[in-house]
Amino acid sequence: MTAAPAPVRTLEDRVRAQGYGLGFDLVGFTALGEMDTAAHFDAWLDRGFAGDMHYLPKWRGKRRDSRLPYAGVTSAIVVALNYGGTEPPGPVARYARGDDYHDVMDAKLRALQRWLGAELGREVHGRAYVDTGPLLERDLARRAGLGWFGKNTMLINPKLGSFFFLGALLVDVELASDKPFASDHCGTCTRCIDACPTHAIVEPRVLDATRCISYLTIEHRGEIPVELHDAMREMLYGCDVCQEVCPWNESFARELREPAFRARDVIAGRDARTLAREMLAMDEEAYRAAFRKSPMKRAKLDGLKRNARVVLGAM
């Protein structure tokens, strides 16, 4: 009896397999074009919810169409990489305890681009984006079938939860689009809205960043409003509360697999008071050594010391 021929693997199948081989947890495809949430994003900016993040309105025009940031591209390979939602809570948000996700994700996406070029026998023109350009990556991820927008504004995947980074590789290759994720699985649940310490989720899927602890401890350059000090409690850098209480994360968050995201020595095992005191004692040299390749450098030493003073005052 003659064996049945092996099924032909499409280019999309091969790209997806290579993405998984590089460590990504989700891989999807979508055609580039006008963004579904562009009007929503513009309205959010107009309400002043971006705060000090002046780079967001600066390129709002390019964010309306994913073909604009990089000329000549036609498709997006959208990926997700888990950063360990089952890790214990602590004074530093889970995503920021290890090496900078921008660098880790970018290296993997560039490797995928090189592999795709070798597979096609030509140079593949394109660019990797990891929260680094005028691109609504969450919008692309939904269109590529990776999940839906939760009421906490995070993209949620029914088998992974929301503790993952998003990245997109825009390429000049025609790839068949995956079916967009059309359903909403939040239902009547409002746990994230109810649990937010500063009431920053002002309505389902609308976040006032100027009240968000992640924004206040990372992006904000001024003093943190006194009325929000107590709400910070033990959160020195970032906040995971709206993800921690999500039923999808309670059920489907995964263990950390990427070694680069494991907590560095200066953070591992530290409680908020201990870490805050160590931050206040740091000089620039100690800070650079402790946080080399860390996303926490985004707040700079002055910002980390500000956060430390607030945490110690609120405890």
Catalytic positions:
131
Q: Specify the DSSP element, H or E, that contains 41.
A: helix 38-46
| Cβ-proximal residues to 251 (8 Å cutoff; 6+ apart), any chain | 161
* Rounded Cα gap, residues 179 and 191, in angstroms: 29
Half-sphere exposure of 272 (CA within 13 A, CB side): 22
**Which strands make up the sheet holding 75-82, listed edge to edge?**
26-31, 75-82, 164-171, 126-129
Residue 105 contacts residue 130 (beta carbons within 8 Å): yes
d(CA 71, CA 85) in angstroms, rounded, equals 36
The answer to whether the CB of 128 falls within 8 A of the CB of 113 is yes
Q: Distance (Å, rounded) from C-alpha 144 to C-alpha 290?
A: 38
CB atoms within 10 A of CB 16: 20
Residues 6+ apart with CB under 8 A from 287: 301, 304
Neighbouring-strand partners of residue 29: 77
Using CA atoms, how far apart are residues 109 and 103, in angstroms rounded to an integer? Answer: 10
Q: List the structure tokens of 266.
A: 């200066």
Cβ atoms of residues 270 and 90 within 8 Å: yes
